[in-house]
Amino acid sequence: MKEISYSSTRGDKEKYSASMAILKGLASDGGLFVPSEIPALDKSLAELSEMDYQGLAYEVMKLFLTDYTEDELKKCIAAAYDSKFDTEEIAPLAEAEGSYYLELFHGATIAFKDMALSLLPHLMTTAAKKNGLDKEIVILTATSGDTGKAALAGFADVPGTRIVVFYPKSGVSPIQEKQMVTQKGANTKVIGIHGNFDDAQTGVKKIFSDKEFAAELDAKGFVFSSANSINIGRLVPQICYYIYAYTRLMKEERIKEGDKINICVPTGNFGNILAAFYAKNMGLPVGKLICASNTNKVLFDFFESGTYDRNREFHVTSSPSMDILISSNLERLIYFIAGGDAARCGELMSELSGDGKYSITDSEKAGLKDFYGGFADEAQTAEQIAKIYKASGYVIDTHTAVASYVCDEYKKSTGDNAPVVIASTASPYKFTRSVMNAIDPEYDKKTDFELIDDLAKISNVPIPQAIEDIRSAPVLHKTECDVDKMKDVIKDFLK
């Protein structure tokens, strides 16, 4: 098996093993770690279709995480994908209205982030041992709603780690906030910032690149790492579920090996759809990657024009995990379409940091041919939830509804009727009020927890344990801060 190394998207020539890239989280020049190549699958899709999720995940991840031994990687996978998930399949497919919904929300926090963040703590603590790291790892994370809780659940009380999560105080759903602020664990800290997700994400990146602060922490026995999707240890596990979805369709004889499918992903930070792009480049037969945006359609505009421009109004929507104007993982795609030219990628990211925008060349834009961009506004999102429910009885959350609407528009505008896998990224229970109001505005008169009981009745899906757990859980995290005080809050937490 070929050794895969990792280097920065921005020009730092140093090469790292997979375990060191996971430990560091972000490259020292502010870039993201990318593999030296995207490896090809070394098992046939027919062989993979006979495996369970855990077995397939090993076959995919071993190709990227080449310095982990077979025993180390299999132990990490077994510890991650266990009874925390409420379905044996881990990522089941549901069919509704001509599309296949890949349900990625059956983990402990009922969002797709569990698929990677159940695994990351195990990859990270194994990496620390492998590399003789004797410092306490401080996980620093910005969240638009789901990453925070999934990371908190993954790292809570994990020896040798602490986790600090920043979220936009007025920019997440009530259920998302309650999940975070009730999190137990002596090593956890949750802070609501006065700003939006982009403010939180930019603040975290600044702290990562603050060399003086890093030295100060190092002297006290701490080292920073990230659980955000910028960490390559988040991206690699996400590749697995697209390959798994394809092999399930094969197993159920809905497609034959080699048939092309399309994949539609509700997209904010671009990590989830980038994982599908990596899967395609490993040999998965994928036609179009359909990138679905909400009213914050910075990615749609980029695919249309070749100019990425964050200088625009920021909208708070019913799909808050996509309320993002700086899609961090797009940097990895830019590096790819620039032919691995880190200097060029660094130049574009510098323009984004300075002017808030950049434009790619026509030849670089040709590298986006695998992608189709679309968006849904708030009314279209709500209408799609109602449409799918009324036609099939299947209830989807707001983010999945954005993807579902864009998928329908893609089919109409192109006539492409290849099977579509839609990434269903969160349980409708996580956005109950928006979902129930979409189905019937009369529901708005009820409390959040009354709506949860009503959703259970109309969907015939049991209330997830993650929701039951927060009904009466006490609020343990009450800290708020301005963006310029984020560093002070971290210092205070670490004493």
Q: Which is the catalytic residue, given 24, 62, 75, 113?
A: 113
Whether 211 is catalytic is no
Q: Which residues pair with 266 in a beta bridge?
A: 292
CA torsion angle for 329, 332, 334, 335 (degrees, to 10)?
A: 160
Question: Is residue 443 a contact partner of residue 454, using CB atoms and an 8 Å limit?
Answer: yes
Identity of residue 50: E
Sequence-ordered list of residues with C-beta below 8 angstroms from that of 66, at least 6 positions apart, any chain: 1, 2, 3, 4, 17, 18
**3-7: which pairs have CB atoms within 8 A and are 24 or more residues apart?**
3/66, 3/67, 4/35, 4/36, 4/37, 4/39, 4/63, 4/64, 4/65, 4/66, 5/35, 5/36, 6/33, 6/34, 6/35, 6/36, 6/232, 7/33, 7/34, 7/36, 7/342
- Distance from C-alpha of 22 to C-alpha of 209, rounded to nearest angstrom: 16
Helix or strand run (H / E) with residue 174: helix 174-181
Distance CA 320, CA 284 (A): 30
Strand 6-8 with 33-35, pairing: antiparallel
**CA end-to-end span of the chain:** 45
Which CA distances in Å does 326 have to 297, 298, 337, 353?
Answer: 11, 8, 18, 10
Measure the CA–CA gap between 475 and 182, rounded to whole angstroms. Answer: 5
**Long-range pairs for 125-133: beta carbons < 8 A, 24 or more residues apart:** 125/158, 125/159, 125/160, 125/161, 126/19, 126/68, 126/72, 126/75, 126/76, 127/19, 127/20, 127/22, 127/23, 128/23, 128/160, 130/19, 130/67, 130/68, 130/72, 131/19, 131/20, 131/23, 133/23, 133/223
Report how far residue 245's alpha carbon sits from residue 241's, in angstroms, rounded to the nearest whole number.
Answer: 6
How large is the C-alpha radius of gyration of the chain?
Answer: 21
**Distance between CA atoms of 284 and 239, rounded to whole angstroms?**
10
Alpha-helical runs (H) found in 81-130:
113-117, 120-130
Q: Which residues have a catalytic role annotated?
A: 113
